[in-house]
Amino acid sequence: MPVVMLPVMGEGLGPREVEIKLAVRSAAWARRQLASKGFRSLHKRTLQRDVVLDSPTGTLRRAGALLRLRRAGGAAWITYKGPAAPGRHKNREELELRLSARAAAQLEQILGRLGFRAVFRYEKYRTEFGQAGRSGVVALDETPIGVFLELEGTPRWIDRTARKLGFTESHYITATYAELYLEDCRRRGHKPADMLFATAG
């Protein structure tokens, strides 16, 4: 079957995602640290199941783009992320659409008919935090390879928040979870597969 390629969009054509990740010692430590700096929970801890889709030849991956289908709490989102611009923060175009569970299943079938397939599956428990009057969001991600904080907002907000939480620019991580997972597998000598919990519920 011929593969229908999604266009890889150029910079500046859509909303931008600006973020970094920070590795933390534990979820409990992160919650205490966030609370001490005035952050409050925006969304409760939820299991997210993500599927990265691509062509058999990895067209999107080779272009630095990503197509992801996420399911969490009875809802779903389809997300396109463009190539990241150089810099200390991950900065790239992000287009996202919320879907019902039924629509997500149908869309996954449509994409499969067009030649896209699941190339990586990963899970995490995410809790989102924010501050009154501030637009930036901190996500606490508990993953099979460790615990991370993901700071998303303006570059200035990200830098200021990271400093408040006790981190410097040297701690910034701009890698994707897929890249972090592959690095973890290389370090442990494990064969890469999907980044899933042994049991999730």
Task: Please report, as a single letter, which amino acid is at residue 77.
Answer: W
CATH architecture group of domain 17-188: Beta Barrel (2.40)
What CA–CA distance (Å, rounded) separates 153 from 128?
A: 13
What CA–CA distance (Å, rounded) separates 104 from 107?
A: 5
Domain boundaries, the chain: 17-188
Q: What CA–CA distances, in Å, run from 126 to 18, 38, 42, 169, 191?
A: 18, 19, 11, 23, 26
Q: Which are the contacts of 199, defined by CB distance < 8 A and separation ≥ 6?
A: none
pLDDT over 70 at 6, yes or no: no
Instruction: Indicate the pTM of the whole model.
Output: 0.90
Strand pairing report for 75-81 and 117-130: unpaired
Summarize pLDDT for 24-69 with one digit per residue, the tens. Answer: 999 999 999 999 999 999 999 999 999 999 999 999 999 999 999 9
The predicted structure's pLDDT at residue 125: 98
